[in-house]
Amino acid sequence: MMRSKFLLLTILLLISLSAQAQFIEVQVEIAVDRMPQQERSDLMNLSSLIKSYYENYDWIDNSYGMQIPLRINIFPQSVNTTGSERTFTAQLFVSNESGDQRFFEKNFKFVYNPNEPLVHQELPHPLTSVLDFYAWLMLAGETDTYEPLGGNNLYEKARDVATRAQMSEKPQGWKDRLQVLDEILRLRDYRLFKYHFWQAMDLSDQNKTKEVPLAIDRALQHLEAQFTENARERYTHVFLDAHARDLMTVIKALGTTAQREKLLSLDPDNKAIYEKILRD
């Protein structure tokens, strides 16, 4: 289903932006099958705490009216208790609803005790700092779709969290997270492709049909530039897989034959989807 930023912003004129959370419908699932009974009960409570941590906090001045449905899956593999501190080792999966932003950690270590609330704070924390880091990545990636490279400042907030946490007493995992951040920031054409893709979608929704082909051209130019540098670049393929139907649908309706052929050439992984849309 095609998401419309234009329609969203129109609706938002009727309600107060200050009353809106940036993260909505946060779904947190923690698989507790491998955990002892006490840890199972405690982790089930943690699910609701993480949900509240994301939903009940003003992360940014939400001038775009962003509302991001979030999905978090944690798969604990083991738990180690030292004194009063329990350290869980788990796999972590974070994504937005459409799946065009998603992140995975196979060795996520976090500390959680049921008598400790999740509090937003500047000091590094082995759990909330990770939650903060992915919040800023998600918000930055979403802001990139509203203005060209618009997420730069928010990506730097993620860097600030990671840098401080890497210098803390529990630096595990932060080197890898910083590498993820640096990789995304290097992908300028990927980020601009996302912006122009959404620009084409919004222009279509506004019935500005004459402007859509130019937006598609710009999107495909940045897609081509990204794949010229690295044809298997992960984040671009994740985004394409999430929006392949939308992209070819708008090209079929308002684009050109050359644009259809270019997309088929650039993204053979989704060739079957594209060809089905063109046939229907």
Domain around 242: 189-279
Among residues 163, 186, 209, the one where a domain terminates is: 186
Q: Is the dihedral of CA 89, 113, 130, 171 positive or negative?
A: negative
Residue 16 has pLDDT above 60, yes or no: no
**Alpha-carbon Rg for the chain in angstroms:** 21
pLDDT digits (tens, 9 = 90+) for 213-248: 999 999 999 999 999 999 999 999 999 999 999 999
pTM to 2 decimals?
0.92
Instruction: State whether 141 and 155 are in the same domain.
Output: yes
Instruction: State whether 174 and 193 are in the same domain.
Output: no
Residue 21 has pLDDT above 90, yes or no: no
CA distances from 3 to 56, 70, 155, 200, 243 (A): 24, 15, 23, 12, 10
- Assign 4 a pLDDT band (cuts: 50, 70, 90): low
Instruction: State whether 122 and 196 are in the same domain.
Output: no
**pLDDT recorded at residue 145:** 97
